[in-house]
Chain A
Amino acid sequence: MSVASKPVPTPRPVGAGDERVATVNVLVRLLQRPELGALIGAVAVFLLFATVDATPGHKFSSVAGMQNWTDAASTYGIMAVAVALLMIGGEFDLSAGVMIGTCGLLLGMLITRYDINVWLGIVVVLIFAGIIGAVNGILVVRTKLPSFIITLATFFVLRGVNVGVTLFITNQVRFDISDQAPGFASAQSVFGSTFLAPYNFQDAVLWWIAITAVATWVLTQTTFGNWIYAVGGDANAARAVGVPVARTKVILFMCTAMAAALVGIMVALRFKGIQTGQGVGQEFFFIIAAVVGGCLLTGGYGSAIGASIGALVIGFAQIGIIFAGWDSNWYFTFLGVILFVAVGVNTLVRRRAASARR
């Protein structure tokens, strides 16, 4: 135990700032990190698929392969980071997947039916997503019902709206966006284009990295980050010391919905159109990525980097199974097993870290 009732005399090395910090075992400190389990898992999954890779020239572990699995992981990653913050704040969002479709479709509708500038459309879509997120959040905070139920309802409402409205307007189940629309070229170059010419990595990868960095900074270095941990860890204790619990949670719901909007915009611009079913079913991938990344389902613990690594694992699996020549349906089974193992490892690691300090 590192807290003693009496000061424990320890030899102070000359010139050292504070020797007591150094006495904490580096290994224990590492084990305390929520990302550790995810990192070990990611390395293991990478090695597995690099080994079973059946493509000529072992594409999985090449730069071309990297382009493939970062592409798959990037949209999961953007969402997983937002969902992770929400989960650390103690809530779920099952409407996060369907929101991608809703926002992409809204952008498509604005561009094709109202001929507005793509950039203006993007702003409108982001505001719309913020409102939907706020509605989710306010309903959860006001009714005190589990967010699981509230957002499940939102999920089904939006799922119906997506198909219903699109069919009504276009007689199809998709919106096609013309690349002649005003502002399309510049918007696509930011949201749906590629970089690093011969390999053509997706722009989404850059967004993913940037969002992970910002989320990590907010979580660990700002007052708001402190509140996120507090409202998820013990909302009543947080309220007792003056943390605005309701506001914190509503903002987290808004961020999640706006992350979904960002992904929806990216999909719509990259593929010059979007299907009504886009994103449906993906909400669980985001939760899997966050949990693999060390987030506790009960809230109050986790990290943005961990969630990103979790998304990377999903990317590895999605591409690795194709490269290995396996039937792609095994992908879901594989993710299920990964989730089991991750939860097990996380629990074990956390117990170890806690007991090592007594």
Chain B
Amino acid sequence: MSQYAAPLLEVRHVSKYFGSVIALKDISMEVRAGEVTCVLGDNGAGKSTLIKILSGVHPHDEGEFLIEGVKVRFTGPRDARSAGISVVFQDLATVPLMSIWRNFFLGSEPTVGFGLASKLDTRFAKRVMREEMQKMGIDVRDPNQPVGTLSGGERQAVAIARAVYFGAKVLILDEPTSALGVRQSGIVLKYVVQAKERGLGVIFITHNPHHAYPVGDRFVLLNRGRLVGKYMKQETTLAELTQMMAGGEELERLSKELEKMAVGPEMKQVAQEMAQEINRPGT
């Protein structure tokens, strides 16, 4: 993948206003094929607004939106989908009571025959689903198994595999690890890397730098609707990311307050560890 070719997706100085509220101001970022771009930010940083612009739900008010170097303006999610941008929402990924193969093809069912005789191509659907899941490193033994019996990480994998199969070039993962345990988060991160290795541009939205840093190539930091930093992986460290994300000064004040309030030795230790974490990037 050439560094000089146009990025799969790029936004330049994009802003979004809701009435008098500035939801996003002057955001620029790019997503390249075979790379993971992490969008980091705390609650209210503007991550959801950014996803909605990228996926065509809201049009942007200022700035430019380019797909493979060509300026675009989406009028709806359908436009974004046909441009190869696919969003995997963590809570909307799948229908739990339906089987894996039914979920995989939901909304884009393959059929054989015409008119009243047209029926689902079950055999094809099961085979393709199994192949696509295999590519993600998951061996599905029973395609009829309800998705609800899968683990949270595997459910995300079904949604990712589905998006990839239906021609996604840019995959937006909205907080895919936020509701998961440590092990399941690890599994999802593995799928993120797999999608990237298959040549997709991945946008990984999260508020957890510990999940973003190991898999990300680029990092975009948002705070209160503004861009606070843009880094390549080699330009930054995990500690730096953590500090910037929460806003260094704020965290410092918080740790001081914690120390003051601390009654037991455990609380004191937590406060000290927090202080250490904040001071580390400076050294």
Expressed in whole angstroms, the Cα–Cα distance for A136 and B63 within the complex equals 46
From 232 to 258 in chain A, residues with beta carbon under 8 angstroms from any chain B beta carbon are 233-234, 236-238, 240-243
* A238 near B107: Cβ-Cβ < 8 Å: yes
Known: A229-B97, A233-B95, A357-B149. A223 touches B139 (CB 8 A): no
* B138 near A3: Cβ-Cβ < 8 Å: yes
Which partner residue on chain A sits nearest B138 by CB separation?
Answer: A3
Known: A223-B120, A237-B95, A300-B97. A2 touches B145 (CB 8 A): yes
**Main SS of the interface on chain B?**
loop
Name, among A3, A5, A8, the residue most crowded by chain B CB atoms within 10 Å (CB to CB). Answer: A3
From 241 to 300 in chain A, residues with beta carbon under 8 angstroms from any chain B beta carbon are 241-243, 296, 300
Interface range for B: 20 to 34
Known: A21-B142, A238-B107, A357-B145. A233 touches B98 (CB 8 A): yes
* B109 near A240: Cβ-Cβ < 8 Å: no
Known: A8-B139, A236-B92. A226 touches B109 (CB 8 A): yes
| A352 located at the interface, meaning its Cβ lies under 8 Å from any Cβ of chain B in the complex | no
| B74 located at the interface, meaning its Cβ lies under 8 Å from any Cβ of chain A in the complex | no
| A323 located at the interface, meaning its Cβ lies under 8 Å from any Cβ of chain B in the complex | no
| A221 located at the interface, meaning its Cβ lies under 8 Å from any Cβ of chain B in the complex | yes
Contact partners of B47 in chain A: CB under 8 A: none
From 97 to 146 in chain B, residues with beta carbon under 8 angstroms from any chain A beta carbon are 97-98, 102, 105-109, 111, 118-120, 122, 134, 137-142, 144-146
Partner of A234, one of B96, B105, B107: B96
* B138 near A241: Cβ-Cβ < 8 Å: no
In whole Å, how far is B28's beta carbon from the nearest beta carbon of chain A? 28
Contact partners of A180 in chain B: CB under 8 A: none
* A226 near B139: Cβ-Cβ < 8 Å: no
Contact partners of B107 in chain A: CB under 8 A: 230, 238, 241-243
Q: Could you mark each residue 14-27 of chain A with 1 if its beta carbon is under 8 Å from any beta carbon of chain B, else 0? A: 00000011011000
* B106 near A230: Cβ-Cβ < 8 Å: yes
* A5 near B98: Cβ-Cβ < 8 Å: no
| A4 located at the interface, meaning its Cβ lies under 8 Å from any Cβ of chain B in the complex | yes
* A222 near B138: Cβ-Cβ < 8 Å: no
| B231 located at the interface, meaning its Cβ lies under 8 Å from any Cβ of chain A in the complex | no
Known: A6-B137, A21-B142, A354-B149. A226 touches B94 (CB 8 A): no
Residues of A in contact with B (beta carbons under 8 Å apart):
1-8, 20-21, 23-24, 29, 32, 217, 221-223, 225-226, 229-230, 233-234, 236-238, 240-243, 296, 300-301, 354, 357-358
Which 7 A-B pairs have CB atoms at the shortest separation, nearest pair first? A241-B107, A233-B95, A242-B107, A2-B141, A20-B141, A223-B109, A300-B97
Residues of B in contact with A (beta carbons under 8 Å apart):
89, 92-98, 102, 105-109, 111, 118-120, 122, 134, 137-142, 144-146, 148-150, 154, 187
- 16 further interface pairs, Cβ-Cβ under 8 Å (given A3-B140, A3-B154): A2-B140, A4-B139, A8-B141, A20-B139, A23-B141, A223-B109, A229-B95, A230-B95, A230-B98, A233-B95, A233-B96, A233-B97, A236-B92, A237-B92, A238-B106, A240-B92
